Amino acid sequence: MRLSKGYWKTYKEIPSDAEIPSHQLMMRAGLIFKTAAGIYSYLPMALRAIHKIEAIIRKEHKRINAHEIQMSMVTPGDLWKESGRWDTMGSEMARLKDAAGRDMCLSPTNEETITDIFRMTVDSYKQLPLSLYQINTKFRDELRPRFGLMRGREFLMKDAYSFHIDKDSLDEVYNDFYQCYSNIFESLGLDYIVVEADAGAMASSDQKTHEFQVIADNGEDTVVVCHETSYAANVEKAKSKRGKLDFLPEAELKEISTPNAKTIAEVCELLGKPKHQSLKSLVYSAIYGEKEVHYLILLLGDDELNEVKLKSFLSCDHLAPTKDSILTELNLPIGYIGPIGASLPIVFDEAVDLNCSYVAGANKVDTHFEGLTPSRDVKNFKTADLRLAQEGDYDQSGKYKIEIKRGIEVGHIFQLGNKYSKAMNATVLDKNGKAVAPLMGCYGIGVTRTLQAAIEQNHDENGIIWPKPIAPYHIYLGVIAKKDPTKKIAQELYEELLKEGFEVLFDDRGVGPGVMFKDADLIGLPIRVVIGERDFEKDGEIEIFLRKSGEKFKVQRDELISEVKKYWEGL
Ligand code: ATP
Ligand code: MG
């Protein structure tokens, strides 16, 4: 593309709402335009990269025999009422009424639509397994849209759905998608890991789910990895063990005065004890349909609760910390809550050694217990793995250290079981002519999130460093010349590079070197070629610059094409 005839604008200023580098760079490099909070328009440079991501996605989906379709963006509320999600989706789903007053919504995801298509178009087990996918706009009215395309309200998603007569078939196709996703993120040139994810409270234990996470310091997700055992899991689900701790042996139960010491830190400081010799008491309210149950959760004083694990353990619909007003009604004094005398169901985290003694609240203001030994002093409790993995932990064998990293969830694959097919009465006839609800899988990739994740992972202080497979153009060709022959040679080089199959952004705007080099660094195409009047007319030299390594080479005009080809191959 000749920039003199192009449509591209770059900016020096960092937009005030752009908190992370990739968002700043996308705005500054003129990739996207903010139309409203969390709603962006994609400008030519971004669109070219998006099309490349889509092409890679399509190629890999073809290999696993998934068929591309495009579902409507607006779905009738009736479908969501059939699945039961009209009432449970919450404010993320944007609802509207059509002119006839019917409920409609902007698709945040498409299980309902696909299940409707399936039940009307597929009849027999012989047509299974079947995988369908689309690349389409999703709308989720996220409460906190942020980081540009990373957490948008309107975004592009590739979503696929598969249908199966039995679990073996679901497992097989699930593995195909696992491999397909690995190939996609590999082909995109991204540093990613696959982690075990949380399947949600209602999932059965054999329902698999994995997330594809691009490792980046600014990622919103936390992942736990253990190199030695190749274990990797989202922290929501991760199991890990504490290292050896010096717990106190069983001791006499003693009430002690702890005036104004409400937090673990205050109590432990007052008593001169490390935090893990105390118990943290948390009260949570779990909602089951119309019913609410309050639970007392006990963790080691320096552990944090993993709410996702707790929600799974309690198998409830909703979970939240109990409100202060309810704690007062339950006679639980904030800052002094503990297991003795609390008339709530009690759950201890598994990291608590029940035969050792701890400091814990005495359910009396300004008072704690010392020597509280759970197995001796607490009646009726359960234990579960409820703690959040933390730095310094070991894997489950207790042998190897785990690492905690930040990640961006770019893909998610999920076994759904027959939840939607059953609820929406989608059936096929099995071998015996019996109508059965097929099992389903669903598989998503955040296309626009992936684009930004690629930039978050590949940039420096001067701009983007595009991974080769998705760079909007291959080469930034700049000419700094007022007249021929340099100007003319630049034109010739442009034509020749195009003929060789390169995608070339030809900066023929006539701007000075300062502006040109800044823009070239900012947009960060893999190779920059600059022909400048002064050097070219003096020594016949043209400069090749590799954006990623920062290497520069001077070459002669007649060797330019072969040299560019060589460097391109080597990238
Ligand atoms: P998150 O936990 O980040 O909110 P999710 O688990 O709700 O995402 P899925 O329903 O699994 O998302 O959607 C599939 C993929 O769509 C995600 O892996 C992610 O890449 C992408 N995605 C989800 N929400 C957004 C968003 N608000 N903006 C951009 N991409 C998104
Ligand atoms: Mg997800």
Mean pLDDT of 21-25: 98
| Best CA proximity match to 386, nearest among 297, 333, 458, 309 | 309
Report the separation in Å between the CA atom of 79 and the middle of ligand 1, taken as the mean of its atom positions: 22
Among candidate residues 28, 23, 32, the one with its CA nearest the CA of residue 13: 28
pLDDT tens digit sequence for 135-176: 999 999 999 999 999 999 999 999 999 999 999 999 999 999
Q: Does domain 254-384 have CATH number 3.90.960.10?
A: yes
Q: b/e map of 545-564 (b: 16 or more CB within 10 Å)?
A: bbbeeeeeeebeeeebbebb
pLDDT at position 199, please? 86
Distance of alpha carbon 455 from alpha carbon 22, whole angstroms: 5
300 backbone dihedrals φ, ψ, rounded to 5°: -60, 145
Domain with CATH 3.40.50.800 in the chain: 473-570
Q: Could you list which residues have their CB under 5 Å from ion ligand 2?
A: 412
CATH 3.40.50.720, domain 3-239+405-456, yes or no? no
151 Cβ below 6 A of ligand 1: yes
Is 449 close to ligand 1, i.e. is its CB under 6 Å away?
A: yes
411 C-beta closer than 6 A to ligand 1: yes
Gyration radius (Cα) of the chain, Å = 29
Return the C-alpha torsion angle 115, 116, 118, 124, nearest 10. 100
**pTM to 2 decimal places:** 0.93
Q: Whose CA is nearest to atom 12 of ligand 1?
A: 412
For residues 351-357, average pLDDT = 97
Residue owning the nearest CA to atom 6 of ligand 1: 412
The answer, yes or no, to whether any atom of ligand 1 lies below 6 A from the CB of 444, is: yes
pLDDT grade, residue 81 (50/70/90)?
very high
**212, 181 Cβ separation under 8 angstroms:** yes
Q: Does domain 473-570 fall into CATH 3.30.2010.10?
A: no
In angstroms, the Cα distances linking 94 to 73, 74, 97, 109, 445 are 12, 10, 11, 12, 21
Over residues 439-454, the mean pLDDT reads: 98
Domain with CATH 3.90.960.10 in the chain: 254-384
CA–CA dist 335, 362 (Å, integer): 10
Q: Please state, in angstroms and rounded to a whole number, the distance separating the CA atoms of residues 33 and 402.
A: 40
User: What are the pLDDT digits (tens) for 167-193?
Assistant: 999 999 999 999 999 999 999 999 999
Helices (H), 188-319: 264-271, 307-314
User: 142 CB less than 6 Å from ligand 1?
Assistant: yes
Q: How far apart are CA 280 and CA 284, in angstroms?
A: 13
Q: Is the model's pLDDT at 97 over the cut of 90?
A: yes
pLDDT of residue 205: 78
Q: Which residues of the chain does CATH 3.30.930.10 include?
A: 3-239+405-456
- pLDDT at position 203 is 74
Q: Where are the alpha helices (DSSP H) in 294-387?
A: 307-314, 324-329, 374-377
Q: If DSSP codes are grouped into helix, strand and coil, which group holds residue 52? A: helix
Question: For 287-344, how does the pLDDT look when each residue is reduced to its tens digit (9 = 90+)?
Answer: 998 999 999 999 999 999 999 999 999 999 899 999 999 999 999 999 999 999 999 9
**Atom 25 of ligand 1, residue of closest alpha carbon:** 151
Element (H, E) at 370: strand 367-372
Question: Is 157 close to ligand 1, i.e. is its CB under 6 Å away?
Answer: yes
Q: Which residues pair with 279 in a beta bridge?
A: 300
Rounded to the nearest angstrom, the distance between the alpha carbon of 53 and the centre of ligand 1 is 17
Residue 57's contacts (CB-CB under 8 Å, 6 or more residues apart) are: 135, 158, 184, 445, 447
Q: Which helix H or strand E contains 182, and what residues bound it?
A: helix 167-187
pLDDT surpasses 80 at 283: yes
**d(Cα 361, Cα 280) in Å, to the nearest integer?**
8
User: What is the number of the ligand closest to the CA of 140?
Assistant: 1
